[in-house]
Structure 1
Amino acid sequence: MDRLTEMEAFANVVDQGGFTDAAKKMGISKSAVSKHVSSLEARLGARLLNRTTRRVSPTEIGLAYYDRARRVLNDAGEADALVTSMQSAPSGLLRISVATDFGVNLLSPILSEFLSDFPDITVNMVLNNRYVELISEGFDLAIRIGELEDSSLRARKLTETTKRLVASPGYIQKFGRPQKIDDLNTHKLLHYSSQSSGNVWKLTAPSGEKRQVRTAGWLSVNDGQSLLNAAISGLGIAYLPSYLYAQAMEEGLVEDAMPTLPVEMLGVYAVYPPGRFTQPKVRAFIDFLVHAFADKGPTEW
């Protein structure tokens, strides 16, 4: 007889408390359930059930075997569901966490194409500039830029972005161009107010030395586009990713404030919870993003 069927019959007898109800659960005859259990006991050489005229209960060995058998049956059921799910069309609610600047400028414009391709998926995109815990906060996926802190998550690189100090030509003409990192202490700086590290810029000197610039700054705001607008208007120097400043630099509205500094390169990643199985809706969205950003970055946006 089939070993898995024997396990299933035995587990159902324990779950239902008898052969009659187990037979109803499995949709077979009571005698067939009894044969499956007897065959299992004979193969194992152990009595798994105490049988009386009134009730059926597992023996000590039977209870230990039941725990393992139930796990095997649950795994088998999940395996069947996995195959069914992988062959089905992507569907369901997809919750995405993404930094505000990236979401507004790069994801929002292309979401309509994704939803048109996958009409059975609904998207809830949460824009914020804080680090979210994907599993505990119920997110299916997040877009993260820079070094990945949580190595337990799965990640797929989408593209790269550069990060530069930018200012308007008018600002440079009026206040001069900083020649070295220490010169920034006398300039008007524009900061992200949502950074957990405060108003700190981590820069790399031409020598390769890692430096930190800590100043109060002239303006702090929790939106990158606003910082870019402030830089364009001549209010100061901003430290921004290329997906924000690229067009403005191409149009001559801003320029590299310190071209002597090494260009910082940051990876853009789709991160999602660990596991051997990726839900079809998550896999579909990641594949879509890889295609959408294939010709983007690090400076072309």
Structure 2
Amino acid sequence: MDRLTEMEAFATVVDQGGFTDAARKMGISKSAVSKHVSSLEARLGARLLNRTTRRVSPTDIGLAYYDRARRVLNDAGEADSLVTSMQSAPSGVLRLAVPTDFGATHLSPILGEFLNRYPDVSVNMVLKNRYVELISEGFDLAIRMGEMDDSTLRARKICETTQRLIASPAYLAEHGRPERLDDLNAHRLLYYSHNAASSMWKITAPSGEVRQVRSATWFSVNDGQSLLTASINGLGIAYLPSFLYAQAMKSGQVVDVIPDLPRDVQGLHAVYPSGRYTQPKVRALIDFLVEKFGTRNADGW
């Protein structure tokens, strides 16, 4: 007889407290349940159940075996559910946390295509310039830039972006072009304002040393697109990712302020809670993002 079926028959008898109710639960005859349990006891060479005319209860050995058998049966059930789930079409509400700059400029314009491709999925996108706690705040997925330092989450790289110092040609013509990082102290710097750390840049010098650049704030705002606009309009120097400045640089509205600096390449990752399997709706969006952005050049965008 099938070993798993024997286990299931025995465990169901224990759960239901008897052969009659176990047979009803399994949808087979009482005699079939009894044969499965007897076969299991014969194979193991041990009595697993105490049988009386009034009740059925596990022996000490039977109780120990039940604990292990129930775990095996639960794992088998989860394995079946996993296969079913992974083959099912993506569906349900997908709650997504995205940095404001990337979400507004690049993700929002293509989400319509994703929703048309997966009509049973609905997206609730929240734009936030901070790390969200995925599980406690109820998010299925988040997009993050930079190093992934949370080992409790799973991550998949979507693409890369480059951070550079940018300014308009008009600003540099009026105020001069800085040649070294130390020269930035004499310039008007444009900062993010969403947290205290944003008013300090960490930039790699030509020597490979990571330098901290901070000066009196000339202009700050909690939005990268606004910083780009301020830079284009000649208000000062900004330190922005290429997914924001690439088009403005191609058109000549801004230029690389210190071209000799090493490229500061950072990855954009999709992060999601670790688990035994990835929900189809989450996997579908990640695959879609890699399809759309995976071939983007870190500098070009």
Same-fold call, TM cutoff 0.5: yes
Q: Which range moves more in the overlay, 3-12 or 188-197?
A: 188-197
SS at match of 1:50: strand
How far apart, CA to CA, are the structure 2 residues paired with 1:221 and 1:14? 65
Q: Give how far 1:73 is off.
A: 0.7
Amino acid at match of 1:148: M
Is 1:64 matched up with 2:64?
yes
SS at match of 1:103: helix
Q: Which range moves more in the overlay, 50-59 or 5-14?
A: 50-59
Contact 1:142 1:271 survives alignment (8 Å): yes
Q: Which residue of 1 aligns with 2:2?
A: 2
Q: Which residue of 1 aligns with 2:221?
A: 221
Number of paired residues?
301
How far apart, CA to CA, are the structure 1 residues paired with 2:179 and 2:66? 74
How far apart, CA to CA, are the structure 1 residues paired with 2:196 and 2:82? 40
Q: Give how far 1:103 is off.
A: 0.7
1:263-298 per-residue CA deviation (whole Å, 9 max, x = no partner) reads: 211112222233452222222212211111144231
Q: Which residue of 2 aligns with 1:191?
A: 191
SS at match of 2:164: strand
Is 1:120 matched up with 2:128?
no
How far apart, CA to CA, are the structure 2 residues paired with 1:57 and 1:80? 29
Q: Give how far 1:72 is off.
A: 0.7
Q: Which residue of 1 aligns with 2:148?
A: 148
Q: Which residue of 2 aligns with 1:81?
A: 81
Matched residues, percent identical?
74
Label 1:270 to 1:196 Cα distance change in 2 as closer, same or farther (>3 A): farther
How far apart, CA to CA, are the structure 1 residues paired with 2:97 and 2:65? 44
Q: Which range moves more in the overlay, 256-265 or 234-243?
A: 256-265
Contact 1:161 1:298 survives alignment (8 Å): yes
Contact 1:171 1:236 survives alignment (8 Å): yes
TM-score (normalizing by structure 1)? 0.94
Q: Which runs of 5+ in 1 are unaligned?
A: none
Amino acid at match of 1:228: L
1:120-152 per-residue CA deviation (whole Å, 9 max, x = no partner) reads: 111111210111233333322221211111234
Aligned pairs for 1:33-72 (under 5 A) are 33-72=33-72
Q: Which residue of 2 aligns with 1:92?
A: 92
Kindly report structure 1 stretches of 4+ aligned residues shifted beyond 6 Å: none
Q: Give how far 1:196 is off.
A: 5.9
SS at match of 1:218: strand
Amino acid at match of 1:231: S
Contact 1:153 1:272 survives alignment (8 Å): yes
Q: Give how far 1:46 is off.
A: 1.8
Q: Which residue of 2 aligns with 1:182?
A: 182
Amino acid at match of 2:286: I
Contact 1:243 1:297 survives alignment (8 Å): no
Amino acid at match of 1:230: A
How far apart, CA to CA, are the structure 2 residues paired with 1:196 and 1:83? 47
1:66-114 per-residue CA deviation (whole Å, 9 max, x = no partner) reads: 1111111111111111222222222222222211111111111001101
Label 1:215 to 1:17 Cα distance change in 2 as closer, same or farther (>3 A): farther
How far apart, CA to CA, are the structure 2 residues paired with 1:4 and 1:75? 12
How far apart, CA to CA, are the structure 2 residues paired with 1:196 and 1:52? 74
How far apart, CA to CA, are the structure 1 residues paired with 2:12 and 2:130? 48
Amino acid at match of 2:285: F
Q: Which residue of 1 aligns with 2:245?
A: 245
SS at match of 2:197: coil
How far apart, CA to CA, are the structure 2 residues paired with 1:286 and 1:192? 28
Q: Which residue of 2 aligns with 1:269?
A: 269
Q: Which residue of 1 aligns with 2:32?
A: 32
Q: Which range moves more in the overlay, 268-277 or 278-287?
A: 268-277
Cα RMSD between the aligned structures? 1.7
Q: Which runs of 5+ in 2 are unaligned?
A: none
SS at match of 1:197: helix
Is 1:20 matched up with 2:24?
no
Q: Which residue of 1 aligns with 2:230?
A: 230
Amino acid at match of 1:298: A
Q: Give how far 1:197 is off.
A: 2.6
Amino acid at match of 1:189: L
